[in-house]
Structure 1
Amino acid sequence: MIDLGLSKMALIGAVALIVIGPEKLPRVARTVGTLLGKAQRYVADVKAEVNRSMELDELRKMKDSVESAARDVESSVQSATTDFEKQWQEATETASSAATALPEPAAFPEYRHPKKKWRVKQGAVPNWYKARSGVRTRALSGAARVAKYRPQKLN
């Protein structure tokens, strides 16, 4: 790129002052500054567009690799499925011929819940122990509870 040092910039400024003149130099400097700003923005836009296109190409390559991997997996699953179906048919054909010789499975007893007699066990606890530990022996409705624990009026 162009190497402009401080001495070269001073030389260019002195020549511009002599050629353009002191009256038009500020206007020309402003115009040159705006044109340089526009050029820098244009270069930055071009760089951003190039970067976007490079990223887009990378994403396309990544998409293609993922799609090819998905196709490979799909084909391997399909081949495994066909192999499994062949083995299943062979097994069911041999099992259907041997199924007539299998004995009837034994009947299992009916399921019984292990806490069948929990009421009997609950009744085995003495009432004095239930009263001491706070176990309710009778259920009270909401109205009965309010009537029982309502403070008494002093006459």
Structure 2
Amino acid sequence: MIENIGFSELLMVGLVALLVIGPERLPKVARLLGFWIAKTRNIVASVKEEIKEEFHAEEIRQMLKEQAGSLEDLQGVLDEMDSSAHNLKTSFDKRAQQIEQSIKSPHEK
């Protein structure tokens, strides 16, 4: 904003201010104007930093949501594997009982 103002424009503003305000009050007004410009810049910088932090926090929240979805998917896969392992164990147990029965049956006769 202020970076686009050249030396000639600043000189013009200074001359107009000197004519309007007067030479005795110009230094005080210039200091006051400088103070408020600095304060405004600090406020703008502070607001920019807060906005930047909020965007960063939102990015982190989004990443956590995505990771939570991935964890839910992983939990689903683990549940399926657990169910498959249980079914496989049940199948092995049944087969083992059948083998035991077939071994015992000829001896009992």
On whether the aligned pair clears a TM of 0.5, the verdict is: yes
**1:85 aligns to what?**
86
**2:23 aligns to what?**
22
Report matched runs for 1:4-153 at 5 Å.
Answer: 4-99=5-100, 101=103
In structure 1, give the amino acid aligned to 2:83: T
Deviation at 1:41, TM superposition (A): 0.4
Task: State the alpha-carbon separation in 2 of the partners of residues 23 and 96 from structure 1.
Answer: 110
Q: Which has the higher contact order (CA 8 A, sep 6+)?
A: 2
Extract unaligned runs of 5+ from structure 1. Answer: 103-155
Deviation at 1:68, TM superposition (A): 0.3
Q: Secondary structure at the match of 1:22?
A: coil
Q: Secondary structure at the match of 1:23?
A: coil
Extract unaligned runs of 5+ from structure 2. Answer: 105-109
Q: Secondary structure at the match of 2:24?
A: coil
Percent identity over paired residues: 29
Coordinate RMSD, CA, aligned: 1.4
Task: State the alpha-carbon separation in 1 of the partners of residues 30 and 64 from structure 2.
Answer: 51
Deviation at 1:98, TM superposition (A): 1.1
**1:136 aligns to what?**
none
Residue deviations 1:2-35, cap 9 Å, x none?
Answer: 6310000001101111111111001000000000
Question: How many residue pairs end up in the alignment?
Answer: 102
- Structure ranking higher in helix proportion: 2
Task: State the alpha-carbon separation in 1 of the partners of residues 5 and 75 from structure 2.
Answer: 62
Task: State the alpha-carbon separation in 2 of the partners of residues 44 and 96 from structure 1.
Answer: 77
TM-score (norm: length of structure 2): 0.88
Deviation at 1:99, TM superposition (A): 3.0
Deviation at 1:97, TM superposition (A): 2.2
In structure 1, give the amino acid aligned to 2:66: S
Task: State the alpha-carbon separation in 2 of the partners of residues 59 and 52 from structure 1.
Answer: 10
Task: State the alpha-carbon separation in 2 of the partners of residues 23 and 37 from structure 1.
Answer: 23
